[in-house]
Structure formats: structure tokens, C-alpha cells
Amino acid sequence: MAELAQVVVDVPTMQTNQPYTYEVPPQLAHQLQVGMRVAVPFGNGHRQVQGFVVGFTDHADYQGELKPIGAVMDVQPVVNTELLKLSSWLADTTYSFWISCLYTMLPNMLKSKAERVVRLVDEVDEQTLFDLFGGKDECELSQFQDDPAKMSQLLKLKREKRVVIDYRLTNRARAKTVTGITPLLTFEQLEDARTSLHPNAHAQSRLLSYLQSIVGKKVKQTTAEHVAQLKAGTFNQGAKKGWLKKVPIEVYRNPYEQPVADDHLETPLHLNRDQQAAVRRINQAVEDQSAQTFLLQGVTGSGKTEVYLQTIAKALAMGRTALMLVPEISLTPQIVNRVRRRFGSQVAVLHSGLSNGEQYDEWRRIERGQAKVVVGARSAVFAPLQNLGIIIMDEEHETSYKQDDAPRYHAREVAKWRSHYHQAPLILGSATPSLESRARALKGVYQLLRLPHRVNQQPLPPIKVVDMRPEIKRRGESNFSLPLLQALDLRLQRREQSILMLNRRGFSSFMMCRDCGAVLKCPNCDISLTLHMDTRTMKCHYCGHEEPIPQVCPNCHSRHIRYYGTGTEKVEQELNRLLPQARIIRMDVDTTRRKGMHEKLLRQFGQQQADILLGTQMIAKGLDFPNVTLVGVLNADTGLGLPDFRASEHTFDLLSQVSGRAGRANKQGQVIIQTFNPDHYAIKDTQTHDYERFFRQEMNLRHQAGYPPYYYTVRLMASHPEEAAAARAMAHIRQELAAKLTPSTIVLGPTPRAIARMKRRYYYQIVIKYKQDPHLHPALQQILQETQAKGFKDVQVSIDPDPQYFM
């Protein structure tokens, strides 16, 4: 039995991926396992930090005296063998720290909070003991914080070394419980109590009979009240008389708005020929336990989801589990309900809209093997499913699959890792695959499966492109061209519905002075503040800074200030004026911020309580409403001008996706795209539904410019409150890299980032482009470790492999 444990510790300022060695005290030896969380002392003080046990050993390289583990925080491991391996791989390939990878994989509730506590270590007089500590010898520091008099007394005691201030870890992971009841007497004793009751005591008599039916069991009180038709008061009387006692019963928090009936599950649809062919190939791979990657390329409405559902069913039939990833913004109740109607209560969902408690409970249902199908957004790729039989990634081209903060992982790469670990196929689905994936399919690295036709046999909706330049000349500033207005009007007459999208990529409503041209900017970041009408404030989307809407220009004091940019609110106002009879539902970050609003608005639209659904990109994906026959895009090109090599690809994807919302049932659909760049190839290829042509043209451009998928890229960023320091650090790193890398590798920069200042820090970056460079990975690992050292004081360096943006 090894008596030393290796622990990855949570110390934010000085990170290292090397586990620390701790002694295992004998009383903990029998319960401690790899994958459990522990509290361990760290540094010189009494500070306790959280750590994860990643292994045991019988000898330490460390020469000094080893410290003992303070406490074990779990009764069973929270990270299993697979996920532990995965976390270490993730840290290595995303140039991040092991501890942050472990946290990324776990629900928030498993991240313990350090509280500062005051502990008496010497005698104090009784008065002080009661005044300051309420008679106990330990209390939280926060109690002193708003009482200066108490605080100064405390500091005096501290100087006299009568108290110490410690960190204590508190475990936030709590199961939810409800009140339950359980009988305290035997069946016969309950019978005796009942026969000796006063004849009028009907309620108590009913309670006793009910208790007789649940001897030896625990029942939720609400259930008991309902079944026995009794009031809460009767149960309280029963408890007083010693017939029953109240007990906590663990329940799962329920994130679903609709219940699901396991005995009335929906039957699979009869597949068409293309779907059959795809399902057959995938199911064969499930059966063979073959870790192949399939690219399922199917136009919108071609029935990809049905393919997912039937291959998931196959995995379940083989006694295995299934993981289905969807982008956060298309994780609508529609898709979740479709999966739940098919697979019932064995489905769990994981996404950012859940409360911490709901998230923790769904996670435990999965971990305990009670949920066998997981539907979730990016981080659900870490769901602790065992025995995975299939992994599905819908809309695989979506950039939200890449995490913006450390660890900067792409869910697709993690999914591939797990696919190999479990010997399970991975299905990447999309109507507009990423160039990377489509190029791999061309090379035969992925298996290409195609669904070229819509299920309903309808052609893809015809797309009309409206050039806004002459429209504006003719009719003045407006968000609506004449053809779009007429089309909307026609839908109102026919009682059909329309979806209108305002493309807000790289775009916001900002304040500008018409006299001096000054734009209201965030004092912390080099970026304009966005107008929010609901709170009547100007907000910074990067740091959260908020200030009132100005009445005069802060620069020249002119009163001629106005806001620019077309917000959804402004469009809604114009629409109300142009089509007063139309009922409109607006969906954007403002109207969906409250929990459940997203679902509510979509349900209202589905029930035809509105004629027009007006929204931002969040309405482009996943929606399947049969009565929608018109889709309008108000401004197709706001994203085209961004300094981003994927700008055209993103525009093409978005326009194709949103066009796919029209004409999904048996009514013919129509799409109208308004643009100032009608000749741009991304717009033209959208109009002809020609992914192949777009792919070829874009691949050509990427080839000429040396961008992915022809090159791999890495971005390094350094930030510092002083611009010169950030620039210096990046120049230093560049020099270091240049000496090590293969000559064919290209290093660009250092340059200031497009948004050079954020949260009071200046940013500089370099971009590395390479095809194959064995020296790169070790060089980057070394930089990562070095930046933790003293010489890099206050400089924060991050490494972003395969960045989605260069801005």
C-alpha cells in the first residue's frame, strides 16, 4: 500500500502541471482513491487549497518534509480513469493547466470555495469571546468586515497572536432534498392506534391507514398528501404523536419544462433511401466498435436528426451510451424534446442555461448510469458517460464549439479522443461543413455521407438577393426593401409566418456625436459602448462597464448625439410602423436574458401567437416551424468586412442556415436576402445553394494566402497594463521561438490586437503558421512554463491552438 498521493493543486498564481506529493494520513488511507478531491495545505501559512488525487506512489523526489493531506472531500471519485487521462491530454494539447482542465470537465458545484475563517489559538477574556466570536472558537472573517470596531479589535488580537486567519474549503456540492415521511410504528401498532381513535377523527384515521400501506418506506410528503388526500397539518399531528417521522429525501432538480412518458415513446420514422444508406453505414460502425469519423453532409431539412436518433437507438440496443452535441444557440427545447420523446427519461441535458444545482444533478444522473443519452452544448463533450457507443456533433462547423478561454479546446478534437478511447464512431453533421472537415473527407480521412434532398421532396427555397444600394437611394434610410415588405405583407394575408434575421456579427448600436464624430467608448477597453434600451444604459460587452446614456457629447458638449447601428429594437419599431397589423416576437440577448424566456418565446411563435419572429443569429439554427414560409435577412454583409480570414465562410454558413428555416413542411418557402454586396461570392453561392462551388473558391483563397486548412495556426497573446511591456514580452517570445522552429514555419507579428485594449490591459499577438514542425510543441510548452516564472511579472501570456479568430 503506497502511502504517498500525487495531487494536482488549485493555486491560481503559480501554476504548474506537475502534481505535488503529499502524505496520506493512516486514517484516510482506506477511503482515498484516484480521482477524488482533497483539501491540502499549500505554501507556508495555514492555507488549504483544493486538489485532485491523480495517482499514488511510494517514493517522493522531493527532498524536504512532506505535508499530509488535510481532508478528503468526496466519498467516491468525481473524475474517472478515462476523464483523468483526457484531462492530462487536454492540458498538453491546449497549452493550459491541468487543474483548469479538470474544472472544465466538472459541474460548477464541484469547485470548492475557499472561505477565510478566524480561529482562536490563545485564551481571551469571556466578554471578548462572546462579543467577537459568539462563544465559539472559530468563525468566518466576513462577519467582521462591515463592523470597523469589531475589526480593529480582531486585528489587535491578531497582533497579539491570539487568533490566526485561515483558509477553509467549503464543499458546495449539495444534493437537493425534499421533506419525506416514514412510519415509526409497525403495521399492528398503527392498527392499535387507529382503533383507539375518537370516532370523529376521520383525517387521523385515514393517515394511519395510509401509513400502514408504506411501512418500511420513505415517501415524499407532497406525494403522501396527494395519495391520502390529507393536509400537511395532519402529518404534523402524526409526527407529534410519534406515528411517523419526517426525513429528507434526495431528489434531482428537474430542468425540463415538460414531463416525458416512458411508456409512450415515439416510434422511429420510416427512413428514405439516403437516410437508410447513412444509417446502415453508421450502425455497422457502432456494431464493429470502429472509431471512424463520418461527415454527414445534408442540406437543411434533409432529416439529419432522424439519422442521429436511429443510430443512437442502435448504440442503446447494444447496451452502450450516446453523446449528442449541438451548438448552444441551437439547443432549443425543440431538439431536446425530440430526443426525449424518443428516448424518455434516460436522456440528460447539459448546457449553460441550467442552474448550478440542475447541472450537478444531471451530471450525477449520467455518472450513476441512470442517463444513457446526453444532449448538450460544448462542455457536454466531457459528460461522464461510460461505455460510449456513438458520438454525434450536429452543426460541426459552428465556432461556438471552440472555447474562447483557457483551456482553449475544440469539442471536435475532444470528441475524436473519446471516440478512439471508446472505439465508437463519431458523426459530424452539417449542411455547410467547415472547410477543415470537408477537406479531410475529400482525402478519405473522414467517411463522407450525403443527404442531398429535403425530406418533404420540396426543393430548397428560392433565394432572392436584394441590392440595398438603389433601394436606399430611392426610398431613403430603411431596414426594409420594397420586395421584403411586399413578401411580408403577402404572408400576413395568407396567415403564414415569417422569420426575420438581423445579422449582428461584429456590429452594435453605438453613440456618435454628429458634430465632432466622437464615439462613446469604454474607459477600460478600446471598444465602443453598446446601447441597451431596456436598462437605458451604455454597456461594454467585454468588461461589463455600464454608464447612463449621455445627453451631451463628452468631447464637444454638443447636443447632437444619436445612436447608430440597427438594433433589433429599432427594427421592431420600424416594422410596427410599416405593418401595424403584424404581431411580432422579438428575440435577442435582451428579451431572452431571463431564464426560460427563450423557450417561452419559441413556444408562442410555434402556437401562432405571432406572425413574425424577429431576431439575431440565435434564430438561424435548429428551428423547425411548418408554417414559416418566408425568411428575410435584413443585412447579410455585416460580417463580411471583419478582419478575419473566416469571414466569408461564416457568412455563407449563416445565410445557408437561416434560409433553411423556410418551407420545411408542405408549403413552398421563400428567402429574401438584403445586402450591399450582391456580387460577393459568399452571397452568390448562398443564392444558388452551391456549397461545392463555395468550397472550391474558398479553398483557393486559403491556399493562396496560406491559411487553414492548408496550414495549421497557433496564436500567442501577451497582455499587460502598460502597452510597452506587452509589446516587449511578445518580442522576446518571438525571438525565442524563431531560434527553435523549423525554417518553413512562418511567424507573423508581434502586432497589437484589433481590439488592442481590454479590461485595462494592452494586447499583443503573434500568429504562427506551419504544416509540420516537431519543434513547435515543446517550444510552446516551454514558453507556457516560463511565463509562470518571476521575470514575467504581470504579463499574461496565452496560447491558442487553431484559433477561430485572429482579431
Residues that bind Zn ion (CB under 5 A): 513, 515-516, 518, 522, 524-525, 540, 542-543, 545, 553, 555-556, 558
Question: Treating both helix axes as pointing N-terminal to C-terminal, what angle do 304-317 and 333-343 enclose, rounded to 10 degrees?
Answer: 40
> Rule CB under 6 A: is residue 269 a binding residue for ligand ADP?
yes
Contact present, 644 and 707 (Cβ < 8 Å): no
**CB neighbour list of residue 691: distance below 8 Å, 6 or more residues apart:** 297, 431, 432, 433, 656, 685
Per-residue x/- mask for ligand ADP, residues 742 to 781, rule CB under 6 A? ----------------------------------------
Stretch that binds ligand ADP, among 298-306, 469-477, 758-766, 782-790 (CB under 6 A): 298-306
If the CB atoms of residues 429 and 803 are measured against ligand ADP, the closer one turns out to be 429
If the CB atoms of residues 158 and 514 are measured against Zn ion, the closer one turns out to be 514
> Rule CB under 6 A: is residue 305 a binding residue for ligand ADP?
yes
> Rule CB under 6 A: is residue 23 a binding residue for ligand ADP?
no
Shortest reach from residue 503's CB to ligand ADP, in Å: 20
If the CB atoms of residues 298 and 376 are measured against ligand ADP, the closer one turns out to be 298
> Rule CB under 6 A: is residue 272 a binding residue for ligand ADP?
yes
- Binding partner selected for residue 543 from ligand ADP, Zn ion, none, CB under the kind-specific 5 to 8 Å limit: Zn ion
Give me the residue label for grid cell 430542468: 255
Q: Tell me the β-bridge partners of 715.
A: 767, 800
- Binding partner selected for residue 241 from ligand ADP, Zn ion, none, CB under the kind-specific 5 to 8 Å limit: none
- Binding partner selected for residue 522 from Zn ion, ligand ADP, none, CB under the kind-specific 5 to 8 Å limit: Zn ion
Rounded to the nearest angstrom, the gap between the alpha carbon of residue 772 and the centroid of all alpha carbons in its chain is 32
Stretch that binds ligand ADP, among 302-310, 362-370, 646-654, 687-695 (CB under 6 A): 302-310
> Rule CB under 6 A: is residue 306 a binding residue for ligand ADP?
yes
- Binding partner selected for residue 57 from Zn ion, ligand ADP, none, CB under the kind-specific 5 to 8 Å limit: none
- The dihedral through the CA atoms of 591, 596, 599, 601 has a sign that is negative
Contact present, 620 and 658 (Cβ < 8 Å): yes
Angle at 109 between CA 107 and CA 112, to 5 degrees: 120
If the CB atoms of residues 179 and 272 are measured against ligand ADP, the closer one turns out to be 272
- Binding partner selected for residue 697 from ligand ADP, Zn ion, none, CB under the kind-specific 5 to 8 Å limit: none
Contact present, 334 and 625 (Cβ < 8 Å): no
Contact present, 351 and 324 (Cβ < 8 Å): no
Shortest reach from residue 504's CB to Zn ion, in Å: 18
Structure-block grid coordinates of residue 733: 517570445
Per-residue x/- mask for ligand ADP, residues 463 to 502, rule CB under 6 A? ----------------------------------------
If the CB atoms of residues 17 and 272 are measured against ligand ADP, the closer one turns out to be 272
> Rule CB under 6 A: is residue 669 a binding residue for ligand ADP?
no
Provide φ and ψ at 575, rounded to 5°.
-65, -40
- Binding partner selected for residue 298 from ligand ADP, Zn ion, none, CB under the kind-specific 5 to 8 Å limit: ligand ADP
If the CB atoms of residues 566 and 670 are measured against ligand ADP, the closer one turns out to be 670
Shortest reach from residue 456's CB to ligand ADP, in Å: 7
Stretch that binds ligand ADP, among 108-116, 303-311, 406-414, 794-802 (CB under 6 A): 303-311
CA distances from 570 to 147, 338, 531 (A): 49, 35, 11
Nearest residue to 336 via CA among 316, 355, 350: 350
Contact present, 561 and 552 (Cβ < 8 Å): yes
How do beta strands 163-170 and 388-393 pair?
unpaired
If the CB atoms of residues 101 and 540 are measured against Zn ion, the closer one turns out to be 540
If the CB atoms of residues 484 and 513 are measured against Zn ion, the closer one turns out to be 513
Q: Which residues of 307-318 are buried (b: 16+ CB within 10 A; e: fewer)?
A: bbbbbbbbbbee
Nearest residue to 512 via CA among 553, 571, 540: 553
If the CB atoms of residues 623 and 758 are measured against Zn ion, the closer one turns out to be 758
What is the rounded CA–CA span in Å between residue 621 and residue 395?
9
What is the rounded CA–CA span in Å between residue 513 and residue 393?
46
If the CB atoms of residues 283 and 765 are measured against ligand ADP, the closer one turns out to be 283
Per-residue x/- mask for ligand ADP, residues 576 to 605, rule CB under 6 A? ------------------------------
Contact present, 664 and 675 (Cβ < 8 Å): no
Shortest reach from residue 757's CB to Zn ion, in Å: 9
The radius of gyration of the chain from alpha carbons, rounded to an integer in Å, stands at 31
If the CB atoms of residues 165 and 518 are measured against Zn ion, the closer one turns out to be 518
Contact present, 72 and 36 (Cβ < 8 Å): yes
SS3 of 597-638: the string is: HHHHHHHHHHCCCCCEEEECHHHCCCCCCCCEEEEEECCCCC
Looking at 71, 271, 448, 533, which residue binds ligand ADP (CB under 6 A)?
Answer: 271
> Rule CB under 6 A: is residue 4 a binding residue for ligand ADP?
no
3-state SS, residue 141? helix
> Rule CB under 6 A: is residue 624 a binding residue for ligand ADP?
yes
**Residue 402 carries which DSSP code?**
B
How do beta strands 138-140 and 113-120 pair?
antiparallel
> Rule CB under 6 A: is residue 303 a binding residue for ligand ADP?
yes
How many CA within 13 A on the CB side of residue 101?
A: 26
Per-residue x/- mask for ligand ADP, residues 438 to 457, rule CB under 6 A? -----------------x--
- The dihedral through the CA atoms of 92, 96, 102, 104 has a sign that is negative
If the CB atoms of residues 203 and 269 are measured against ligand ADP, the closer one turns out to be 269
Looking at 93, 94, 293, 302, which residue binds ligand ADP (CB under 6 A)?
Answer: 302
Provide φ and ψ at 726, rounded to 5°.
-65, -45
Nearest residue to 145 via CA among 125, 172, 118, 113: 118
DSSP string, 469-513: HHHHHHH-S-S--HHHHHHHHHHHHHT-EEEEE---TT---EEEE
> Rule CB under 6 A: is residue 631 a binding residue for ligand ADP?
no
Question: Treating both helix axes as pointing N-terminal to C-terminal, what angle do 202-213 and 187-195 enclose, rounded to 10 degrees?
Answer: 170
Rounded to the nearest angstrom, the gap between the alpha carbon of residue 567 and the centroid of all alpha carbons in its chain is 25
If the CB atoms of residues 281 and 545 are measured against Zn ion, the closer one turns out to be 545
3-state SS, residue 758? strand
Q: Tell me the β-bridge partners of 765.
A: 717, 751
If the CB atoms of residues 179 and 555 are measured against Zn ion, the closer one turns out to be 555
Q: How many residues bind ligand ADP (CB under 6 A)?
A: 16
Stretch that binds ligand ADP, among 62-70, 125-133, 271-279, 505-513 (CB under 6 A): 271-279
Shortest reach from residue 639's CB to Zn ion, in Å: 22
Shortest reach from residue 666's CB to ligand ADP, in Å: 11
- Binding partner selected for residue 56 from ligand ADP, Zn ion, none, CB under the kind-specific 5 to 8 Å limit: none
> Rule CB under 6 A: is residue 646 a binding residue for ligand ADP?
no
- Binding partner selected for residue 540 from Zn ion, ligand ADP, none, CB under the kind-specific 5 to 8 Å limit: Zn ion
Shortest reach from residue 516's CB to Zn ion, in Å: 3
Shortest reach from residue 763's CB to Zn ion, in Å: 13
> Rule CB under 6 A: is residue 298 a binding residue for ligand ADP?
yes
CA distances from 512 to 519, 537, 560, 603 (A): 5, 15, 9, 38
Structure-block grid coordinates of residue 257: 419544462
Would you tell me how many other CB atoms lie within 10 Å of the CB of residue 94? 23
> Rule CB under 6 A: is residue 301 a binding residue for ligand ADP?
yes
> Rule CB under 6 A: is residue 277 a binding residue for ligand ADP?
no
| Helix intervals (H) in 318-355 | 333-343
User: Segment 72-111, which members bind ligand ADP (CB under 6 A)?
Assistant: none
If the CB atoms of residues 624 and 736 are measured against ligand ADP, the closer one turns out to be 624
Residues that bind ligand ADP (CB under 6 A): 269-272, 275, 298, 300-306, 455, 624, 664
